[in-house]
């Protein structure tokens, strides 16, 4: 088996559109990423994951690809990409690409040909079905709140799109299509790219729910409700490992919505090593009303968070591997969500980092998270660009007649654009992101929350992240050791122990605005506990009872 370097890595995720613009067009670019590599290196990250940089009409900001083997013009050229790779190498950084293989843009040449010519081989790269008397072939509804079928006049059939209308799903049952995708993956890995993040792998398997064309036409089989992570995915992934990943010393991470820890173990823990890691969403769904959409917000229960994170730690303790993340380009900012973006912004941002990153797994830090960047205060729909947000607004306000203020409140809590406002580099105009007009408004708090300011402030969230990453490396063995949750029912404190080779760490976090009393567990000797990390000054000695201040976190090494 190839070496597991990715187990010791810290990944920094870049959303290139919003990271750094260098030519004044208001859109981040590859030259901008190169310009900021030293910053990422100094943070202590080892790997960069860059969101899609392929040509795209940008209906979904690059997740609607028209050419998987080229660079989008506004991001630069293939030469810029090679420079980026070289510049990463020279700093000892690795580069992971985002790969969208559940769907292509409807502007993709494959789709265009499929659309115009029913006899083309590309017709079978996608899903086409005639409608029924009631309309679309199935009643499946997408996360965008629409039917997943779009009628196409030219051939009088519908095509499948599990996401936006202009993202047509690829047919993974077609072996020729699969080989075409593997070829595109190898194209990047042959260039020396260090891994791939696979978009929406939970959607690839459709065979179980959608009968093949002939059976559907002849009504020999009926469609079923769609379920993510269908069984065929594991066959595809085994084949992908054989055809692609096994040929390189690279990392693979898949986005797997709706996945349980049991399924997570199958994805990452089998002997076939389908994937190194997956992103699950269970901890990201805890502030959502059960059975409703992610827009329908409810307060987080700490006991739920403990349960979910602990389940994943335990289930993947001996086999498989976890990702550790709070933020990405699809999630609102964690400090605004599970922390406090006001008075305790710094304390709670640090606490959330310490709470997660002493667990076992590979940390993923999303641009600006290390600064404690917050949600944007935009209260007008015109300030949002994200297709998911805009579609939802139209559906709820205009089709369902729901209260505009209530809909805006959901958007202000949960829109993906909160993660996508430009990176806040300094206090100059547009936060140092662009000299032009940014494609999405800058968060007005950039004057106080920015990288330049944080670098000079010993107490900044950024400096806390640096320290935390150093500690993770220093205690790499114990961080790969066993995990025990303590005080499962405590409504304020999240406490766990990590243990290996006679070393023990304890991480204690107050996930609340109120003070909380912590009593050392029986048998521990607080006197000999060494404080490794904390987010308050004068953390004091390890008495038998410690009063944790709002959002206080401490990590101790126990004798
Ligand atoms: C993934 C991406 C998201 C995108 C979707 C469709 O969930 O993270 O940004 O909208 O896939 O490609
Ligand atoms: Ca630019």
pLDDT digits (tens, 9 = 90+) for 370-391: 999 999 999 999 999 999 999 9
For ligand 1, is residue 100 a contact (CB within 6 Å)? yes
477 in any annotated domain: no
Q: Are both 133 and 231 inside the same structural domain? A: no
Q: Are both 219 and 119 inside the same structural domain? A: no
Residue nearest to atom 12 of ligand 1 (CA): 63
State how far the Cα of 372 lies from the Cα of 349, in Å rounded to an integer.
Answer: 6
Q: What's the pLDDT at 204?
A: 98
Asked whether residue 559 carries a pLDDT value surpassing 90, the answer given is no
Q: Which of 53, 68, 200, 253 to mutate to test the pocket of ligand 1 (most atoms within 8 A of CB)?
A: 200
Q: Show the domain range for 124.
A: 109-167
Beta-bridged to residue 195, according to DSSP, are: 96, 251
| Single residue among 120, 148, 167 that ends a domain in this structure | 167
CATH of the domain at 255: 3.20.20.80
Q: What's the pLDDT at 487?
A: 97
Q: How confident is the model at residue 539 (pLDDT cuts 50, 70, 90)?
A: low
Q: What's the pLDDT at 542?
A: 63
Ligand 1 atom index nearest CA of 103: 12
Ligand 1 atom index nearest CA of 164: 6
CATH of the domain at 138: 3.90.400.10
State how far the Cα of 137 lies from the Cα of 151, in Å rounded to an integer.
Answer: 10
Residue nearest to atom 4 of ligand 1 (CA): 63
Ligand 1 atom index nearest CA of 102: 12
157 CA from centroid of ligand 1 (Å): 26
Q: Are both 359 and 373 inside the same structural domain? A: yes
Nearest ligand to the CA atom of 13: 1
Beta-bridged to residue 240, according to DSSP, are: none
Q: Are both 222 and 294 inside the same structural domain? A: yes
For ligand 1, is residue 330 a contact (CB within 6 Å)? yes
CATH of the domain at 517: 2.60.40.1180
389 in any annotated domain: yes
Asked whether residue 321 carries a pLDDT value surpassing 90, the answer given is yes
- Mean local confidence (pLDDT), 397-415: 98
Asked whether residue 528 carries a pLDDT value surpassing 90, the answer given is no
449 in any annotated domain: yes
pLDDT digits (tens, 9 = 90+) for 231-289: 999 999 999 999 999 999 999 999 999 999 999 999 999 776 799 999 999 999 999 99
pLDDT digits (tens, 9 = 90+) for 40-49: 999 999 999 9
Q: How confident is the model at residue 543 (pLDDT cuts 50, 70, 90)?
A: confident
Total structural domains within the chain: 3
17 CA from centroid of ligand 2 (Å): 8
* CA 482 to chain CA centroid, nearest Å: 25
Asked whether residue 524 carries a pLDDT value surpassing 90, the answer given is no
For ligand 1, is residue 200 a contact (CB within 6 Å)? yes
Q: Which of 115, 194, 199, 263 is flagged as catalytic?
A: 199
Does the annotation count 199 as an active-site position? yes
Q: What's the pLDDT at 164?
A: 96
475 in any annotated domain: no
Residue scoring higher pLDDT (88 or 525)? 88
List C-alpha distances in Å: 305 to 63, 126, 308, 315: 30, 39, 5, 15
Which distant-in-sequence residues (6+ apart) come within 8 Å of 60 by Cβ?
163, 164, 166, 167, 387
**E runs forming strands in 161-205:** 167-169, 195-199
Give CA angle at 246 (242, 249), nearest 5°. Answer: 165
Reduced to 3 states (helix: H, G, I; strand: E, B; else coil), residue 255 is: strand
Q: Are both 373 and 494 inside the same structural domain? A: no
Q: What's the pLDDT at 1?
A: 43
Q: Give, as one character, the DSSP assignment of residue 321.
A: -
Residue nearest to atom 7 of ligand 1 (CA): 200
Q: Are both 190 and 152 inside the same structural domain? A: no
Two structure tokens written together for 54: 């392929």
Does the annotation count 222 as an active-site position? no
Sheet with 157-160: list strands edge to edge: 128-129, 157-160, 149-152
Q: How confident is the model at residue 144 (pLDDT cuts 50, 70, 90)?
A: confident
337 in any annotated domain: yes
pLDDT digits (tens, 9 = 90+) for 95-137: 999 999 999 999 999 999 999 999 999 999 999 999 999 899 9
280 CA from centroid of ligand 1 (Å): 14
Q: Are both 13 and 152 inside the same structural domain? A: no
Q: Are both 207 and 314 inside the same structural domain? A: yes
424 in any annotated domain: yes
Q: Are both 317 and 297 inside the same structural domain? A: yes
Q: Lowest-confidence range among 270-274, 393-397, 491-495?
A: 270-274
Computed over every residue of the chain, the mean pLDDT equals 96
Ligand 1 atom index nearest CA of 100: 12
Q: Which of 199, 281, 332, 392 to mutate to test the pocket of ligand 1 (most atoms within 8 A of CB)?
A: 199
Q: Are both 147 and 84 inside the same structural domain? A: no
473 in any annotated domain: no
Ligand 1 atom index nearest CA of 387: 10
pLDDT digits (tens, 9 = 90+) for 344-362: 999 999 999 999 999 999 9
Tally of CB atoms within 10 A around 13: 24
* CA 301 to chain CA centroid, nearest Å: 22
Residue nearest to atom 2 of ligand 1 (CA): 199
State how far the Cα of 532 lies from the Cα of 471, in Å rounded to an integer.
Answer: 8
Ligand 1 atom index nearest CA of 163: 6
Q: Within 164-300, where are the H helices?
A: 175-190, 213-217, 232-243, 261-269
Q: Please give the model's pTM, rounded to 2 decimal places.
A: 0.98
| Single residue among 167, 183, 207 that ends a domain in this structure | 167
For ligand 1, is residue 169 a contact (CB within 6 Å)? no
- Mean local confidence (pLDDT), 77-95: 98
139 in any annotated domain: yes
For ligand 1, is residue 311 a contact (CB within 6 Å)? no
Nearest ligand to the CA atom of 257: 1
Residue nearest to atom 6 of ligand 1 (CA): 63
For ligand 1, is residue 98 a contact (CB within 6 Å)? no
For ligand 1, is residue 417 a contact (CB within 6 Å)? no
Residue nearest to atom 5 of ligand 1 (CA): 63
Q: Are both 365 and 447 inside the same structural domain? A: yes
Q: Are both 301 and 429 inside the same structural domain? A: yes
- Mean local confidence (pLDDT), 447-475: 98
27 CA from centroid of ligand 2 (Å): 4
| Single residue among 437, 468, 499 that ends a domain in this structure | 468
Asked whether residue 27 carries a pLDDT value surpassing 70, the answer given is yes
């Amino acid at each position: 088996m190839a070496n597991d370097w990715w187990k010791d890595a810290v990944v920094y995720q870049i959303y290139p559109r919003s990271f750094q613009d260098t030519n004044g067009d208001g859109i981040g670019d590859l030259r901008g990423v190169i310009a900021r590599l030293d910053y990422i290196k100094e943070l202590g990250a080892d790997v960069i994951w860059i969101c899609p940089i392929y040509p795209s009409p940008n209906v979904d900001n690059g997740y609607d690809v028209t050419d998987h083997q080229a660079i989008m013009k506004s991001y630069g050229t293939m030469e810029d990409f090679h420079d980026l790779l070289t510049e990463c190498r020279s700093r000892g950084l690795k580069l992971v690409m985002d790969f969208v293989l559940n769907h292509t843009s409807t502007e993709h040449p494959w789709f265009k040909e499929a659309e115009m010519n029913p006899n083309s081989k590309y017709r079978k790269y996608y899903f086409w079905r005639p409608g029924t008397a009631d309309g679309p072939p199935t009643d499946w509804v997408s996360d965008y709140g629409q039917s997943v079928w779009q009628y196409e006049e030219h051939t009088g059939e519908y095509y499948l799109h599990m996401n936006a209308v202009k993202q047509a799903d690829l047919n993974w049952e077609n072996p020729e299509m699969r080989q075409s995708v593997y070829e595109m993956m190898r194209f990047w890995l042959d260039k020396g790219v260090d891994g791939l993040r696979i978009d929406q792998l939970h959607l690839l398997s459709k065979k179980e729910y959608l009968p093949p064309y002939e059976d559907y036409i002849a009504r020999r089989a009926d469609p079923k409700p769609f379920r993510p992570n269908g069984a065929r995915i594991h066959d595809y992934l085994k084949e992908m490992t054989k055809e692609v990943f096994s040929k390189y010393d690279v990392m693979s991470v898949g986005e797997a919505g709706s996945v349980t820890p049991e399924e997570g173990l199958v994805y990452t823990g089998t002997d076939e090593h389908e994937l190194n890691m997956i992103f699950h969403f269970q901890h990201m769904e805890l502030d959502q009303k059960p059975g409703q959409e992610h827009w329908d917000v409810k307060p987080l229960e700490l006991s739920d968070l403990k349960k979910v994170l602990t389940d994943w730690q335990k289930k993947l303790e001996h086999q498989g591997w976890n990702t550790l993340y709070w933020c990405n380009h699809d999630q609102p900012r964690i400090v605004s969500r599970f922390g406090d973006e006001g008075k305790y912004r710094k304390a709670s941002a640090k606490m959330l980092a310490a709470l997660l990153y002493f667990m076992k797994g590979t940390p993923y830090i999303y641009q600006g998270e290390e600064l404690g960047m917050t949600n944007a205060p935009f209260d007008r729909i015109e300030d949002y660009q994200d297709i998911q947000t805009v579609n939802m607004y139209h559906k709820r306000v205009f089709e369902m007649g729901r209260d505009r203020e209530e809909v805006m409140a959901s958007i202000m809590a949960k829109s993906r654009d909160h993660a996508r406002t430009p990176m806040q580099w300094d206090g100059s105009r547009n936060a140092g992101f662009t000299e032009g007009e940014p494609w999405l408004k800058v968060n007005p708090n950039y004057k106080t929350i920015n990288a330049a300011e944080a670098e000079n402030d010993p107490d900044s969230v950024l400096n806390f992240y640096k320290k935390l990453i150093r500690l993770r490396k220093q205690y790499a063995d114990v961080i790969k050791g066993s995990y025990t949750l303590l005080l499962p029912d405590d409504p304020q404190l999240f406490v766990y122990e990590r243990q290996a080779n006679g070393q023990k760490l304890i991480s204690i976090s107050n996930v609340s605005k109120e003070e909380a009393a912590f009593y050392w567990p029986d048998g521990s000797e607080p006197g000999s506990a060494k404080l490794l990390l904390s987010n308050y000054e004068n953390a004091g000695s390890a008495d038998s009872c410690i009063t944790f201040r709002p959002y206080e976190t401490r990590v101790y090494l126990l004798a």
